[in-house]
Structure 1
Amino acid sequence: MTEQAPGTSANADQLWRWSATRIADGIATGLISAREAVESSLARIDEVNPQLNALVEVSAEEALQAADEADRLTRSGAPLGPLHGVPVAIKVNSDQIGHATTNGVVAFKDAIATTDSPHVASLRQSGAILLARSNTPAFSYRWFTSNDLHGRTLNPWDATRTPGGSSGGAGSAVASGMVPIGHGNDIGGSVRHPAYACGVVGLRPTVGRVAGLYGPPDADPALSVQSMLVQGPLARTVADIRLAMRGLTAHDPRDPFHVPGAPAAAPAERPLRVALVRHHGVATPTAAVDDALTQAEGWLTDAGYVVEEVELPLLAEAYRLWYLLCMEEFRQIMPLVEEVGDEGMKKAAEGYYAVSSEWWGTQPSLTDYMNGYARRGTLIRMLGEFLQRYSTVLLPVSAEQAFEQDADIASIDSMRRVMAAQASMMAIPVLGFPAVSVPTGIAGGLPVGVQLLGRRFDEAGILDAAAVIEARAGTFTPIDPR
């Protein structure tokens, strides 16, 4: 695209195409204003959001006021935050002052937040303009973004396919150019899967890297939420993911697992070694997914990485363990789900429990649960030792491309297929290591990509590898809805 000179209407209309990095640089240097960036995003939202329903609340007046304040700060010569003036969407399961934390549930439509969650406060402090709220499934517990309160979010590549979940609104909004950065959170692929399904980049940081909070401030979060759930960004480029992470690392004492000022991992030994895991022993990747792995393998090899195909059976074990630890804790709120959840969430929960009972029984015991957490520690140690030899693991995000809408609730057999396809993605939250989803191309009209798993607190390492893949594959968004 040829961009116009600043100050022209054509330029202002096209700022929604710019990367977050370019927007931030443009505002800091006076090339563009924060108001122009916000107005361009708002115009794009008006154009495509009615079709996609990715953003369920748009705060135009609030955002424009924040943009004007950002422009005054720019003119004052004061220090600017890394995301100064950049439009960002916040997922509706996170507290943002003055907005309802609905989590996609009708009963929570009036749950107005009186404070920002730690990660929202960090983004605000970094200068981001909190422009809109993005959709999520009820209770943020599906890979399909639909609920009775806000409706269904569509994938801009194909309306018959899921945009992913649970941060599907963020993925759809970023891919279609409504915002350059979307906030998400990930306990079971909820950042990486929407990024994959929508053809953008999504990072799940190391547990402790970003201070976050999930759930009412007066509640005691489940242990899995405390120790596995992370906050992370979705964006169209790897550089924008790096920028977003600079805006997400402020200290906040409300997160008991946050590691303030967490250092980067020690440099890995050279040459950098990558373990390619094509098949995790649960679901066989489709031809398109397998081809994506082969492409990524070749690109990394060309860049000097040593790629070796290996088996890593602990991933399959960690995948099954997720359904013991997380779903047994989720069982505590099932009475609330039954009371206020929508039918999609209830059917999904029924499917999760039906399939996981094949491994853990219909009513796992306290001993099962305790032994599960004990085994989790062993698996974390095993992966840490494995990553002494390999700095990165290259593996599928999912064994399939974006699923057909509601594939998880079509039947128990369909849920079994969907769960199996997501196995490598589900294993990683149990283990607590960072992972990034990066697109490699388009196959059959849908995005396809790969996942890179790295050492704890080595987000920089996996983003370096992702940047190699992006440089060869190119970027595929923003796009108009199809």
Structure 2
Amino acid sequence: MDKLTQLTVVEIAEAVRSGSVSATDVVEAHLARIAEVNPATGAATVVLADQARAAAAEVDARIAAGGDPGPLAGVPVSVKENIDLTWSATTSGLPFAADHIPAENASFVTKLLAAGAIPVARGNMPDVGLRWDTDNDLFGRTWNPWDRSRVPGGSSGGDAVIVATGMAAAGLGNDYGGSLRLPANAAGIAALRPSAGRVPAPTRQIMPIELSLQAFAVNGPLARTVADLDLLFGVMHGADDVDPQSVTIPHPAGYDGPRRVAVTVDPAGWGVEPQVAAAVHRAADALAAAGWEVEQVDPPQVDRCATLWRQISASEMAPALLTPGVFPGPLSAGTVKYFTDNVAGVDLLDTAPAYAAAWAERHALAALWRQFHTRYPIVLGPVTTAAMPEIGWDLSGPEATTQQWRQHRLLVTANFLGLPAVAVPTGVADGRPQGVQVISRLNGDHIALAAARAIEAAGPALTPIDPRP
């Protein structure tokens, strides 16, 4: 592996800014890496070679002229297939969207480009981002680089694998039900699910958006270190002039407040596998060694938060996904099968009073969590309570979709409440990466990042890795 593809975001930006390496050399190394390993992963859907080379030349010219190349000078990034980048179509993994070139970049993409970041590839995803796996009829399957028999997670699975295998230093994805943190956990890298509103929408198109997408979905970075997440988020965050949910809130450089951690090994008491519990305990020990006050105590009503997340999301999606003719073309058989099975296990909110009551209860649950976070600024727990499943397991029937949702209960709780969360690796067990997530209060993204740094510091880096046999 070329040494340039092993460097982190921070290291690449510092090297390019100092002149010790050119942005062109960095981009060429990563393009070569994509050519070498992407055939074994199916993670990068489109390679943006010509555009990336031109952008690298602009960064190098700016430096040669004595200008400021930006805090992300020369950093290769991948961009998920549902985030607008005018360099290629925004497909969301749908064959009928293969020619949908956006008129504008997402505003946070524009910020990253202005900061010197260079998109080198698009990242694969399940069509419409629905499954906790990464497969579609347009680009095919993305393979888990640690174990090809296991799913890579989703829906930002392509970007997670791109980063884990050194094809880019960072990835841009989104998270409606764990879609950043789950694939990061599967790949052995880190990911930040920002607070709701901190990063604007993935498009500047003005259109009706379901209420759950407004409340649950966010855009955020994937990277190999927490410091990289911090740097990327520092560029990405802030309101734009279109997204009415977006806000501008200062992002502190660190955290010097109370350092108390609530550790939940088995959220809601629904069961946890031993290797997952061991990862949470390792992370708790790391935080304690770093001076955090650690206490094993469960946050409030994870069961209700997860249940309402599933009911609301399924109820809103069902009319679109199960009604013929809503989309201009067919969804993949896997997506239809998964969602049909998922709906079979959900009590849909199919009356106005039931739907309204669910959102009303969300407010009360958010208040309980706000109160809890006053005492415990960090909640530490599993990303998922089980190992990543074998390919196809989530399509084996309604029971599997319900079991998978139960395994992801703490994952979707953060989405349901709009809270910031960082997934961070802790080690390897059974030949696969293990990790945890830390969840903080609304707009406490810097607190979650600080805790994740302490966990990360206790163990060795797991990536980049070579996915080839």
Report what 1:392 is aligned to: 378
Backbone CA RMSD of aligned residues? 1.8
- Once the 2 structures are TM-superposed, how far is the Cα of residue 401 of structure 1 from its aligned partner? 2.0
Distance in 2 (alpha carbons) for counterparts of 1:471 and 1:338: 48
Residue 288 of structure 1 corresponds to 275
Structure 1, residues 411-447: CA drift from partner, whole Å, max 9, x if none?
Answer: 2222222111111101111101100110001110111
Deviation at 1:98, TM superposition (A): 3.8
Closer, same or farther: CA 267–237 of 1 in aligned 2, 3 Å = closer
Write the distance in 1 (CA, Å) between the matches of 2:387 and 2:14: 35
What secondary structure sits across from 2:121 in the alignment? strand
Distance, in Å, in 2 between the alignment partners of 1:261 and 1:415 is 37
Aligned to 1:173: 162
What is the CA–CA distance in structure 2 between the aligned matches of 1:76 and 1:310, rounded to whole Å? 56
What SS does the corresponding residue of 2:85 show, helix, strand or coil? coil
Contact 2:255 2:446 (C-alpha < 8 Å) held by counterparts = no
Give the fraction of aligned pairs with identical amino acids, expressed as a percent. 37
1:24 aligns with 2:13: yes
Q: Contact 1:119–1:210 (CA<8 Å) still a contact in 2?
A: yes
Unmatched runs of 5 consecutive residues or more in structure 1: 1-9
Show CA shifts across 1:58-89 (max 9, x none).
Answer: 01011001000010111222223221211110
Matches within 5 A, 1:209-248: 209-213=198-202, 217-248=205-236
Of 468, 472, 476, which residue of structure 1 is paired with 2:454?
468
Which one of 374, 383, 402 corresponds to residue 416 of structure 1? 402
Q: Distance in 1 between matches of 2:169 and 2:133?
A: 22
1:298 aligns with 285
In structure 1, how many angstroms separate the alpha carbons of the residues matched to 2:239 and 2:70? Answer: 15
Of stretches 461-470 and 198-207 in structure 1, the one that deviates more from structure 2 is 461-470
In structure 2, the partner of 1:445 is 431
What is the correspondence of 1:53-92 to structure 2 with a 5 Å cutoff? 53-92=42-81
Of 313, 317, 320, 2:307 maps to: 320
Partner amino acid, structure 1, of 2:283: A
1:264-313 CA-to-partner distances (Å, cap 9, x unmatched) read 5996644x110011122263110000000111111111111111111224
Cα deviation, 1:244-269, whole Å, max 9, x if unaligned, reads 11221254112111112445599664
2:296 aligned with 1:309: yes
Contact 1:274 1:394 in 2 (8 A): yes
Partner-residue secondary structure (3-state), 1:322: helix
Query: 2:137 matched to 1:148?
Result: yes
What is the rounded CA distance, in whole Å, between the counterparts of 1:415 and 1:430 in structure 2? 18
> How far 1:218 sits from its partner (Å)?
4.3
Aligned residue in 2 for 1:457 = 443
Partners of 1:447 and 1:382 in 2: how far apart? 33
Q: 68-77 or 218-227: which moved more?
A: 218-227
In structure 2, the residue matched to 1:340 is 330
Deviation larger for 342-351 or 413-422: 413-422
Q: 1:97 and 1:413, CA in 2 relative to 1: closer, same or farther beyond 3 A?
A: same
Matched residue SS, 2:437: strand
- Aligned match of 1:133 in 122, 135, 145? 122
Cα displacement string for residues 14-39 of structure 1 (whole angstroms, at most 9, x for unaligned residues): 20111111000000000000000000
Aligned: 1:402 with 2:388: yes
What's the secondary structure of 1:308's corresponding residue? strand
| Alpha-carbon distance between aligned partners in 2 of 1:465 and 1:98, rounded to the nearest angstrom | 36
The answer as to whether partners of 1:209 and 1:262 remain within 8 angstroms in 2 is no
- Secondary structure of 1:345's aligned partner: helix
Aligned to 2:316: 329
- Contact 1:16/1:179, CA 8 A, preserved across alignment: yes
Q: Report the counterpart of residue 123 of structure 1 in structure 2.
A: 112
- Paired with 2:256 and 2:270, the residues of 1 have a C-alpha distance of 31
How many angstroms does 1:331 deviate by?
Answer: 2.3
**SS of structure 1 residue aligned to 2:374:** coil
- Which of 11, 26, 45 is the aligned partner of 1:37? 26
Alpha-carbon contact 2:198-2:239 (below 8 Å) kept: no
Q: How many residues align?
A: 465
1:353 is matched with 343
Could you tell me how far apart the structure 2 residues matched to 1:338 and 1:72 are?
44
Can you give the 5+ residue segments of structure 2 that lack an aligned partner in the other structure? Answer: none
Paired letter, 1:208: G
Partner of 1:372: 358
| Residue type at the aligned position of 2:136 | N
Measured in 2, the distance between the counterparts of 1:188 and 1:426 equals: 5
TM-score, normalising length: structure 2: 0.96
Farther off after superposition, 97-106 or 186-195 = 97-106
* Matched residue, 1:96: 85
> Match of 2:346, SS?
helix
CA distance in 1, matches of 2:251, 2:363: 22
Which runs of structure 2 are paired with 1:184-203 in the superposition (5 Å)?
Answer: 184-203=173-192
Secondary structure, aligned partner of 2:267? coil
Q: 1:122–1:249: 8 Å Cα contact kept in structure 2?
A: no
TM-score normalised by L of structure 1: 0.93
SS of corresponding position for 1:281: helix
